[in-house]
C-alpha cells in the first residue's frame, strides 16, 4: 500500500511540474507588432498591433460587404519600460496580451536617438519573444504613426514591413538576432529603417471604387547605431545593400548603370572606351542572385588592412544601351563596367560609414576576432577609433552568366546603334 | 432385466449387446432433441439395426446408399449375434471411407452430435460410426475485412476442413502440420494448430499447445474467445495475436515460422505471435511493385501517427504552444474559433466522441437505413455544428482527418487500439500540453517495447534491432532481398532461400 502511494506521488510530481498554463485561443490577444516611442518627459509609449479575429472571420453569413473592417487594432499605453507598458495596456484589453507571435518591433526615431539599450533587454530575456523577429527604426516619425497606417496589401502593417524587408533582398526575419550579434561583436548595431511614404502624386478619390495611391510604409534603408547603441545615421535604400553584401547577407538585387552610347559597339573599341563619357539614358540592368563576400584582414604595421572580395553571379535583365549583347565581348564590357560602377558605389558607402558613422557595421572586427583572436584582444578596446582609418581594398567580381531571353533586343531599330 | 440394471450401474459408459437397451439409453440422452432421428431396419428377419443421426447434418443420400442398402441386402438371411462378424461388418459390407467402431456411449453421443451416423446392431456391444457428414455451408467468398487489388480472392470460411484444405492447397508439404484438438466442454469446438515443421521453434508450438490445453471453458464461439485466453498481456490495448481471413496471409505467416490456430465455425484464423509491424503490413504491399509498396507503407505509418496524435497535437498547440504555429495560421484558427463557447479540449472530445458514435452506429445499422445515418451524421458534424457556432471549422477538419486515418490500418484491431488511446492522450494534451503528449508517448513506447507475446518482442525487428530483417519494416524491399527470417521465430533456419551467387 505504502509502495503504491509512493509510486502515485512520484508519478504526480512528474506530471504536476507546472505546465498548467492553458490559455484558450479566444482569451489571447495576439500581438503582431510592438512599437516603442520615447516621449519628452522620459516616459515610453508602447503601441501594439493586435489581431482582430472577428474582422478576419469572413463568414458566409456576413458576406463581403462588411469586409471594410480592418483586421487589426492598435492599442497604446504609457509605461516606464516594455513590461510596464504592457501591463498598463492590459487594463484596456479583455484578452491576455500574447507576445509569442510578435514578429516585428518598431522603434521611433526619438527613442533610437536616445539609445535603444534601455528597451532591448526584454527582447532577449522574455521567453515569449522570438529571437528571429524583425526590428525597425521608423525614420522621422514615431512607431505609433507607422503602426496606425492601414497597409492595404496585408491585413496588418506589422506583417507588411516584414515582408517588404524580405522582398528587398535582406535575409528573412532575423534583424533582432543580427542586432544582438553585432552589438556584442563590434559594438555597433544596424537595423532596417522604415519611413512613411506619402504617394508620389496625389489623386483625389472621385468615385467610391477608386483606389488612388495612399500614404504607405516603405523601407528607407538601414539605421546605424553607434557603440552606445544610439542612432548614428541612416543608410539609404540604395546604400543598404552594400552592407548586406559585405556582411554576406544579400540575397538578390538588381543593379543599373549607365553605359556609353557612342563607342560601344565599335569593332576595335576597348573595354575602357565603352565606359568613358557615358551619357544618361543608356542603361544596363543586371540582376544578381548569388552573392559572396570574402573579407581577409592583413596585418602590416600597426593598423590592419582588409582585402574584400565581393563576388556575384547574375544575368543581364535590361539593356537600353546600343551594345549588341549577342557578342560575348560586349557582355564582358558590361561586366567590367558593372564591376567598376559597383566598386565606386561600395567604396562611397563604406567611406560614409567609416567617416560619418564611425561604426563597424560590416563586421570587419569580427573577422579579425575569428582569424586572429589574440590580435583582436589588443584591438578590441580601441576598435571604434581604429575603424574609421583602416584601409580597405575592395574588389568586385561579377560574373554574368546570361543575357536574358534574347541576345539582341526584340526591337528592330535602335537610336545610335550600329548600322 | 435386473442384471442389466446392475451392469448399467457398474459400467455406465459401455455399450451392451442389447439393442433395445442401447437405443433406450440414447433416447434418454437425447430427450427432447427433436433433430435426432432414429431409423430402424430389420436385418435377416430377426436381427435389427438402428441408425441414429442428426437431421440436417448427414448426407441422407449417402447413408441410404452406403449404409442402409448394404446392411439390408447382405444380412438379409444371416444372424449378427456372432461377435466375430463385427470386422466383416465394418470392412466389407459398409463401403464407406470413414467408418469406425466405438464401444462407449459417450463417444457415440459426441459423434452423433458432430453429424456422424451411428449404426447400432442387435447383439453387438459396439456402434459403428459412419462419417457421412454433410452440413450446410456457404461457398468460398472474397475476404471482406482484408480486400486486395491484386491477389487471391478466396477467404477462410466457417468450416474447419475447408479452411485446412485452403491451406493445404497452397502448401503441399508434409512439413505443414495440422494438429487438431477440441475445446469447450459444451461446444466441443474443433481447433487445429498449424505450423511448419523445420521452420517453427518447437518451444513455441509446445507453448501454444499447452496454453490451449489449459483453457477450461464451456464454449468457444469465435476464434477471438481463444485469443484472450492465450494472450500474454490481456491488459494491453494492442493486439498480440493477429487474425486474418485470408489463406495467403496465413500461409506466409506459416513460412515465417509463426503458428496459426484455426477454429471451427470462424472464418478468422489466428496467427501468433504477432509483431507490431506485421499489423501494419497489408497484403497489397507484397503484390504491388516494391517502390509503390514502400511509399504506401509510409503513408500508412504517417496515418497511424495522425490517427493517434492529430487531435491532441491540435489541442496542445492552440492552448499551450501558440508560438509554434505560423502566424497566419494562428490568425485564421483564432478567427475560426472566435465565438466557440467550449475550450478546445472539450471541443475535441465531443467531436471525437460523436465520430466514434457515428462509426459504431454505421456498423450496427440495418443496410436500409445506412445512408440516412451517414447523411445525418455528415450534416451534423460537417455543417450544422459549425454553422451553429458550437464547434470550430479547424476542429472538424482535424476530426475528420483523424477519422480517415484510423481506417488506414490493415489490421482492424490495431486500428481500434489507436482509436481508443486517442482519448486519454487528448485529455493529457488538454491538461499538460506537449509535455503531456511526450510523457504519454514515452509510456506508450515503453509499454510496446516491453510486450513480448510468446517470447517474441512486439517491436521486433526494430527493437531489439535485427538489421537483417529491417527490409520489410520501414521499406518493402524487393522480394529477392527479403531473405532473412526473424530469429525469434525460427529454429535454426533463418533464411527463406539461399543467397544467390552470381
- Minimal Cα–Cα distance from A62 to chain B, Å? 12
What does the pLDDT look like over A312-359, one tens digit per residue?
A: 999 988 888 777 788 888 888 888 888 888 998 899 999 999 888 888
DSSP string, B368-434: GGHHHHHHHHHIIIIIIHHHTTSS-HHHHHHHHHHHHHTT--SSHHHHHHHHHHHHHHHHHHHHHTH
Reading chain B (502 residues) residue by residue, the pLDDT tens digits are 444 444 445 456 788 888 888 888 888 888 888 889 888 887 665 667 888 989 888 888 888 888 888 777 766 555 554 555 555 666 566 666 778 888 888 888 888 888 888 888 877 788 888 888 888 888 888 888 888 888 888 899 988 989 999 999 999 999 999 999 999 888 889 999 999 998 899 999 999 999 999 998 898 888 888 988 999 888 999 999 999 999 999 999 999 899 999 999 999 999 988 999 988 998 888 888 999 999 999 999 999 999 999 999 999 999 988 888 888 888 888 888 888 888 899 999 999 998 888 888 888 888 787 777 777 777 777 788 888 888 888 998 999 899 889 888 888 889 899 999 999 999 989 888 898 899 999 999 999 999 999 989 999 888 888 887 888 888 888 888 888 888 888 877 778 877 766 5
**Is the complex ipTM more than 0.90?**
no
Does B337 sit within 8 Å of A26, measured CB to CB? yes
The kind and range of the H/E element at B88 are helix B85-88
In whole angstroms, how far apart are CA B80 and each of B41, B52, B89?
13, 19, 9
Which residues of chain B make contact with A20, given a CB cutoff of 8 A?
A: 431-432
CB atoms A22 and B333 under 8 Å: no
Cross-chain Cβ contact B330/A128 below 8 Å: no
Distance CA A185, CA A180 (A): 9
- CB atoms B343 and A24 under 8 Å: yes
**Given this model, what pLDDT does residue B20 score?**
84
Instruction: Give the mean pLDDT of chain A.
Output: 82
pLDDT, tens only, A204-214? 888 888 888 88
Cβ within 8 Å, pair B334-A51: yes
- CB distance A24–B344 less than 8 Å? yes
Residues of A in contact with B320 (CB under 8 A): 19, 21-23
Q: How many residues does chain B have?
A: 502
**Chain A residues inside the 8 Å CB shell of B435:** 17, 19
Q: Which residues of B touch A128 (CB under 8 A)?
A: 323
The residues, ordered by sequence, that sit 6+ positions from A302 with a Cβ below 8 Å of its Cβ are none
Starting at the earlier edge strand, list the strands of the sheet with B269-272.
B176-183, B189-196, B259-263, B269-272, B242-244
In the numeric block, the cell 562611397 is attached to A348
Nearest CA in chain A to B429: A22
Q: Give the separation between CA B330 and CA A28, rounded to whole angstroms.
A: 11
Provide, rounded to the nearest whole percent, the portion of chain A with pLDDT above 90: 18
For A59, nearest residue in chain B (alpha carbons): B336
Kind of pairing between the strands at A304-319 and A391-402:
parallel
| Nearest residue in chain A measured CA to CA from B343 | A24
Exposure string for B54-77, b = 16+ CB within 10 A, e = fewer: beebbbeebbeebbbebbeebbee
Q: For residue A21, what is the nearest residue in chain B, using CA coordinates? A: B320
**Nearest chain B alpha carbon to A52:** B335
Check if the beta carbon of residue B344 is closer than 8 Å to that of residue B314: yes
The reported pLDDT for the residue numbered B142 is 87
Helices (runs of H) and strands (runs of E) counted in chain A:
14, 13
**Which helix or strand (DSSP H or E) is residue B327 part of?**
helix B327-337
Chain A residues with CB within 8 Å of chain B CB: 14-15, 17, 19-26, 28, 30, 32, 51, 53-57, 71, 98, 100-101, 103, 128, 130, 155, 159
Distance between CA atoms of residues B43 and A43, nearest Å = 124
The pLDDT, as a whole number, for residue A62 is 41
pLDDT of A91: 92
Judge contact between B269 and B257, C-beta under 8 A.
no
Exposed e or buried b for every residue in A347-384, given b needs 16+ CB within 10 A? eebbebbbeebbbbbbbbbbbbbeeeeeebeebbeebb
Mutation target for A interface from B331, B341, B392: give the one with most A CBs within 10 A: B331
Query: Cβ A25–B333 below 8 Å, yes or no?
Result: yes
Torsion sign across C-alpha atoms A127, A129, A130, A135 = negative
Question: Which of A267, A255, A254, A262 is closest to A282 using CA atoms?
Answer: A262
Closest residue of chain A to B341, computed from CA coordinates: A26
B interface test, pick of A11, A17, A19, A26 with most B CB neighbours within 10 Å = A26
Q: Which residues of A touch B336 (CB under 8 A)?
A: 57
Separation in Å, CA of A41 to nearest CA in chain B: 35
Q: Do A53 and B323 touch (CB under 8 A)?
A: no
Chain-chain contact of A22 with B431 (C-beta, under 8 angstroms): yes
**B-side interface with A, Cβ within 8 Å?**
318-320, 322-323, 327, 330-340, 343-344, 430-433, 435-436, 439
Contacts of B218 (CB under 8 A, 6+ apart): B184, B185, B186, B187
Over the stretch A169-209, which tens digit does the pLDDT of each residue have?
777 777 888 888 888 888 888 889 999 988 888 888 888 88
**CA angle centred on B467, ends B461 and B471, rounded to 5°:** 80
Q: pLDDT confidence of A268, banded at 50, 70, 90?
A: very low
Question: Does A25 contact B318 at a Cβ distance shorter than 8 Å?
Answer: yes
- Measure the CA–CA gap between B35 and B219, rounded to whole angstroms: 21
Q: A51 and B439: CB-CB below 8 Å?
A: no
Within 8 A by CB and 6+ apart from B172, the residues are none
Q: What is the pLDDT of residue B176?
A: 93
Place of cell 545593400: A241
pLDDT of residue B357: 87
- Residue A78: what pLDDT? 93
Instruction: Provide the 10 A C-beta neighbour count for residue A210.
Output: 9
C-alpha A403/C-alpha A317 separation (Å) is: 7
* Nearest CA distance, A400 vs chain B (angstrom): 38
CB atoms near residue A3 (< 10 Å): 7
Interface test with B, best of A17, A21, A25 (most B CBs within 10 A): A25
The whole-number pLDDT of residue A261 equals 52
| pLDDT at site A108 | 92
**Pick the residue with more confidence: A143 or A131?**
A143
Flag whether pLDDT at A128 surpasses 90. Answer: no
Shortest Cα–Cα distance, B375 to chain A (Å)? 22
Whether A269 shows a pLDDT value over 60: the answer reads: no
Q: Which of A53, A54, A153, A158 to mutate to test the interface with B (most CBs of B within 10 A)?
A: A53
Closest CA relative to residue B200, chosen from B492, B496, B470:
B492
Residue A76: Cβ within 10 Å count: 18
Mean pLDDT of A54-74: 56
Distance between CA atoms of residues B359 and B356, nearest Å: 5
Measured between alpha carbons, how far is A196 from A216 in angstroms, rounded to an integer? 6
Q: Give B276 to chain A, closest Cα distance, Å.
A: 28
Q: Which residues of B touch A26 (CB under 8 A)?
A: 334, 337-340
Are residues B334 and A25 in contact, defined by beta-carbon separation less than 8 angstroms? yes
Residue A264 has pLDDT above 60, yes or no: no
Instruction: Tell me how far apart the alpha carbons of residues B292 and B304 are, in angstroms, rounded to a whole number.
Output: 18
Instruction: Name the residue in chain B with its Cα closest to that of A100.
Output: B323
Distance, in angstroms, between A390 CA and closest chain B CA?
44
The answer to whether the CB atoms of B331 and A26 lie below 8 A apart is no
Position A14 confidence tier, pLDDT thresholds 50, 70, 90: low
The rounded distance, in Å, linking the Cα atoms of A397 and A342 is 10
Select from B224, B82, B247, B75 the least CA-distant residue to B162.
Answer: B247
Amino acid at each position: 500500500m505504502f509502495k503504491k502511494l509512493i509510486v502515485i506521488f512520484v508519478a504526480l510530481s512528474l506530471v504536476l511540474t507546472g505546465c498548467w498554463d492553458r490559455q484558450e485561443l479566444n482569451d489571447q490577444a495576439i500581438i503582431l507588432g510592438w512599437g516603442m516611442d520615447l516621449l519628452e518627459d522620459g516616459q515610453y509609449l508602447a503601441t501594439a498591433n493586435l489581431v482582430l479575429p472577428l474582422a478576419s472571420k469572413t463568414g458566409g453569413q456576413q458576406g463581403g460587404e462588411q469586409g471594410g473592417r480592418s483586421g487589426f487594432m492598435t492599442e497604446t499605453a504609457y509605461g516606464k519600460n516594455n513590461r510596464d507598458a504592457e501591463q498598463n495596456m492590459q487594463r484596456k484589453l479583455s484578452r491576455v496580451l500574447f507576445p509569442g507571435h510578435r514578429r516585428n518591433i518598431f522603434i521611433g526615431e526619438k527613442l533610437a536617438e536616445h539609445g535603444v539599450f534601455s528597451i532591448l533587454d526584454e527582447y532577449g530575456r522574455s521567453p515569449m519573444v522570438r529571437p528571429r523577429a524583425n526590428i525597425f527604426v521608423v525614420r522621422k516619425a514615431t512607431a505609433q504613426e507607422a503602426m496606425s497606417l492601414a497597409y492595404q496589401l496585408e491585413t496588418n502593417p506589422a506583417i507588411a514591413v516584414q515582408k517588404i524587408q524580405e522582398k528587398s533582398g535582406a535575409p528573412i526575419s532575423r534583424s533582432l538576432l543580427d542586432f544582438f550579434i553585432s552589438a556584442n561583436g563590434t559594438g555597433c548595431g544596424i537595423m532596417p529603417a522604415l519611413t512613411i511614404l506619402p504617394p508620389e502624386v496625389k489623386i483625389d478619390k472621385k468615385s467610391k471604387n477608386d483606389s488612388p495611391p495612399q500614404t504607405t510604409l516603405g523601407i528607407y534603408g538601414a539605421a546605424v547605431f553607434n557603440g552606445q547603441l544610439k542612432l548614428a545615421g541612416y543608410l539609404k535604400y540604395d546604400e543598404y545593400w552594400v552592407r548586406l553584401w559585405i556582411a554576406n547577407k544579400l540575397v538578390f538585387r538588381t543593379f543599373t548603370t549607365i553605359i556609353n552610347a557612342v563607342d560601344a559597339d565599335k569593332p576595335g573599341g576597348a573595354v575602357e572606351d565603352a565606359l568613358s563619357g557615358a551619357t544618361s539614358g543608356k542603361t544596363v540592368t543586371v540582376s544578381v542572385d548569388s552573392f559572396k563576400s570574402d573579407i581577409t584582414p592583413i596585418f602590416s604595421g600597426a593598423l590592419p588592412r582588409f582585402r574584400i572580395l565581393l563576388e556575384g553571379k547574375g544575368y543581364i535583365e535590361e539593356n537600353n544601351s546600343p551594345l549588341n549583347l549577342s557578342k560575348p565581348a560586349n557582355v564582358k564590357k558590361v561586366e567590367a563596367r558593372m564591376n567598376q560602377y559597383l566598386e565606386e558605389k561600395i567604396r562611397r558607402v563604406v567611406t560614409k560609414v567609416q567617416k560619418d558613422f564611425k561604426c563597424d557595421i560590416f563586421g570587419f572586427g569580427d573577422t579579425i576576432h575569428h582569424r586572429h583572436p589574440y590580435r583582436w584582444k589588443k584591438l578590441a578596446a580601441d576598435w571604434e577609433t581604429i575603424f574609421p582609418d583602416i584601409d580597405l581594398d575592395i574588389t568586385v567580381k561579377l560574373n554574368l552568366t546570361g543575357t536574358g531571353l534574347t541576345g539582341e533586343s526584340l526591337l528592330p531599330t535602335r537610336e545610335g546603334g550600329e548600322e | 432385466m435386473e442384471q442389466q440394471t446392475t451392469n448399467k450401474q457398474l459400467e455406465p459408459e459401455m455399450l451392451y449387446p442389447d439393442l433395445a437397451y442401447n437405443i433406450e439409453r440414447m433416447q434418454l440422452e437425447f430427450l427432447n432433441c427433436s433433430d435426432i432421428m432414429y431409423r430402424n431396419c430389420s436385418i435377416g428377419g430377426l436381427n435389427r439395426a438402428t441408425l441414429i443421426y442428426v437431421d440436417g447434418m448427414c448426407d441422407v443420400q449417402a447413408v441410404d446408399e452406403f449404409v442402409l442398402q448394404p446392411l439390408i441386402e447382405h444380412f438379409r438371411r444371416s444372424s449378427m449375434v456372432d461377435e466375430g462378424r463385427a470386422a466383416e461388418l465394418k470392412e466389407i459390407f459398409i463401403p464407406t471411407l470413414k467408418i469406425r467402431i466405438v464401444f462407449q456411449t459417450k463417444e457415440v453421443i459426441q459423434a452423433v452430435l458432430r453429424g456422424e451416423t451411428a449404426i447400432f446392431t442387435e447383439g453387438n456391444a459396439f456402434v459403428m460410426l459412419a462419417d457421412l457428414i454433410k452440413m450446410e455451408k456457404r461457398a468460398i467468398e472474397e475476404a471482406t475485412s482484408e480486400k486486395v487489388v491484386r491477389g487471391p480472392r478466396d477467404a477462410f470460411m466457417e468450416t474447419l476442413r475447408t479452411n485446412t484444405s485452403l491451406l493445404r492447397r497452397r502448401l503441399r508439404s508434409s512439413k505443414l502440420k495440422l494438429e487438431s484438438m477440441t475445446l469447450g466442454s459444451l461446444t466441443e469446438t474443433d481447433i487445429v494448430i498449424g505450423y511448419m515443421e523445420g521452420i517453427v521453434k518447437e518451444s513455441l508450438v509446445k507453448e501454444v499447445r499447452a496454453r490451449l490445453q489449459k483453457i477450461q471453458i464451456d464454449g468457444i464461439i469465435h476464434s477471438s474467445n481463444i485469443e484472450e485466453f492465450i494472450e500474454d498481456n490481456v491488459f494491453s490495448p494492442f493486439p498480440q495475436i493477429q487474425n486474418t481471413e485470408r489463406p495467403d496471409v496465413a500461409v506466409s505467416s506459416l513460412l515465417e515460422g509463426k503458428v496459426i490456430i484455426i477454429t471451427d465455425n470462424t472464418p478468422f484464423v489466428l496467427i501468433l505471435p504477432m509483431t507490431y509491424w506485421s499489423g501494419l503490413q497489408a497484403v497489397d504491399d507484397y503484390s504491388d511493385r516494391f517502390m509503390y509498396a514502400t511509399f504506401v507503407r509510409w503513408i500508412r505509418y504517417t496515418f497511424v501517427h495522425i490517427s493517434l496524435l492529430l487531435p491532441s497535437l491540435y489541442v496542445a498547440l492552440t492552448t499551450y504552444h501558440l508560438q509554434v504555429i505560423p502566424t497566419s495560421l494562428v490568425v485564421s484558427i483564432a478567427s475560426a474559433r472566435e465565438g466557440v463557447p467550449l475550450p478546445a479540449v472539450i471541443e475535441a472530445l465531443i467531436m471525437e466522441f460523436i465520430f466514434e458514435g457515428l462509426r459504431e452506429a454505421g456498423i450496427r445499422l440495418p443496410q436500409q437505413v445506412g445512408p440516412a445515418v451517414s447523411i445525418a451524421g455528415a450534416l451534423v458534424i460537417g455543417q450544422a455544428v459549425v454553422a451553429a457556432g458550437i464547434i470550430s471549422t479547424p476542429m472538424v477538419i482535424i476530426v475528420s482527418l483523424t477519422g480517415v486515418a484510423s481506417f488506414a490500418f490493415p489490421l482492424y484491431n490495431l486500428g481500434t487500439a489507436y482509436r481508443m488511446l486517442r482519448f486519454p492522450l487528448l485529455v493529457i494534451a488538454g491538461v499538460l500540453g506537449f509535455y503531456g503528449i511526450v510523457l504519454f508517448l514515452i509510456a506508450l513506447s515503453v509499454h510496446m517495447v516491453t510486450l513480448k507475446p510468446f517470447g517474441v518482442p512486439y517491436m521486433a525487428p526494430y527493437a531489439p534491432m535485427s538489421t537483417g530483417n529491417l527490409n520489410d519494416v520501414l521499406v518493402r524491399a524487393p522480394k529477392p532481398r527479403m531473405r532473412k527470417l526473424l530469429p525469434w521465430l525460427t529454429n535454426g533456419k533463418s533464411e527463406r532461400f539461399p543467397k544467390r551467387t552470381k
